[in-house]
């Protein structure tokens, strides 16, 4: 269990570093706090927290798609002979890493959003189901 906790902390730390590069330290800390908050919630997530996570997930999805498109466009243009091959290869490595980071960020936000969504829906549906079941048993 100790190694899993370290891996989760490492993933959160990498995510925070990436967010700081893209959005600055204040926004990054707010996003990481929201993500960490979902792991140990005592009560269901608030509607606005789930909505904010949904919007953040969509924003990261768009960034990941753009990174993939840029990488694909770069790869298609490499069939032509080039005279500065080392510089072109560095550009490819940069685009590859940018694409990988954007996809990791999107997947983390996507996973967190659906975890929050399931927790919020469970809080709303579980009591209703229990009340219905009790009323059916009485009847």
pLDDT, tens only, 61-111: 999 999 999 999 988 887 666 555 656 678 888 999 999 999 999 999 899
Mean pLDDT over the full length of the chain: 75
Which residues touch 2 (CB under 8 Å, ≥6 apart)?
Answer: none
Per-residue tokens: 113: 């959003």
| Block residue for tokens 């706090």 | 33
Looking at residue 98, its pLDDT comes to 92
Q: What is the pTM of this model?
A: 0.56
- At residue 31 the predicted structure's pLDDT band, cuts being 50, 70 and 90, is confident
Looking at residue 107, its pLDDT comes to 92
Rounded CA separation 16/31 (Å): 8
Q: Inform me whether the pLDDT recorded for 4 exceeds 50.
A: no
Looking at residue 134, its pLDDT comes to 52
- At residue 28 the predicted structure's pLDDT band, cuts being 50, 70 and 90, is confident
Q: Which of 17-26, 42-51, 88-97 has the lowest mean pLDDT?
A: 42-51
Which residues touch 29 (CB under 8 Å, ≥6 apart)?
Answer: 16
């Amino acid at each position: 269990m100790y190694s899993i906790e370290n891996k989760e902390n490492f993933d959160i730390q990498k995510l925070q570093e990436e967010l700081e590069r893209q959005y600055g330290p204040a926004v990054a800390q707010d996003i990481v706090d929201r993500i960490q908050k979902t792991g140990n919630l005592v009560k269901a997530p608030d509607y606005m927290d789930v909505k904010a996570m949904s919007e953040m997930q969509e924003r990261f999805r768009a960034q990941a798609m753009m990174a993939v498109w840029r990488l694909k466009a770069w790869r298609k243009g490499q069939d032509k002979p080039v005279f500065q091959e080392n510089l072109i290869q560095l550009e490819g490595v940069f685009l590859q890493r940018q694409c990988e980071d954007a996809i990791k960020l999107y997947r983390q936000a996507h996973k967190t959003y659906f975890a929050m969504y399931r927790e919020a829906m469970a809080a709303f549906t579980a009591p209703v189901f229990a009340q219905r079941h009790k009323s059916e048993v009485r009847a």
